[in-house]
Structure 1
């Protein structure tokens, strides 16, 4: 949010929280965990600024995903991403240098 904009309040804030949760879920469905984590953190920060009445305006399905399901995968108890994944090594390193067999006739 640019510095010139005023902070969101009321229905605009609720709408923005819903939008961010939906974006995070779409990243989740696309298996883009890094983007999902960032969008979820933004949504959660905004969600925590809502009053109890405003939280009730957020659809239950979105609230549940934000607080429970995504907490399982992105919560504080999880190891934070380091930028190095397990998939950095070649999958078939044992086959290097070997010639492939020609198919039998």
Structure 2
């Protein structure tokens, strides 16, 4: 993945950041939190490589979602997601 990121031109990098943010938002809207978290982390990693001028080319709505709204739910201060128990070892009662 690192080689691919280096090959991206400036405009392609900006476009890729926007695409990843949009994908993360679509996962968020579909309540797919694990997928959203992964895409958000990828988008944020690429976003942090941009210069200030490049960041200004990202639409404001996408920047706000990436930096503020999603930080509220996926930030470092949040408890990481827990693994669900296997269905075979689940201790649910049968009625």
Q: Taking structure 2 as the reference length, what is the TM-score of the superposition?
A: 0.85
Counterparts in 2 of 1:1-105, with a 5 A limit? 1=1, 3=3, 5=4, 7=6, 8-84=8-84, 90=92, 93=93, 96=95
The structure where helix makes up a greater share of residues is 2
Instruction: Name the CA distance, whole Å, in 2 between partners of 1:75 and 1:38.
Output: 12
**Cα distance change of structure 1 residues 45 and 89 upon mapping to structure 2, 3 Å threshold:** farther
After the TM superposition, which parts of structure 1 deviate over 2 Å for at least 4 consecutive aligned residues?
none
Structure 2: gaps of 5 or more residues? none
Instruction: Name the CA distance, whole Å, in 2 between partners of 1:40 and 1:62.
Output: 11
Q: Taking structure 1 as the reference length, what is the TM-score of the superposition?
A: 0.77
Structure 1: gaps of 5 or more residues? 97-105
Q: How many residues matched? A: 90
SS of the aligned residue for 2:77 comes to coil
Q: CA RMSD in A?
A: 2.0
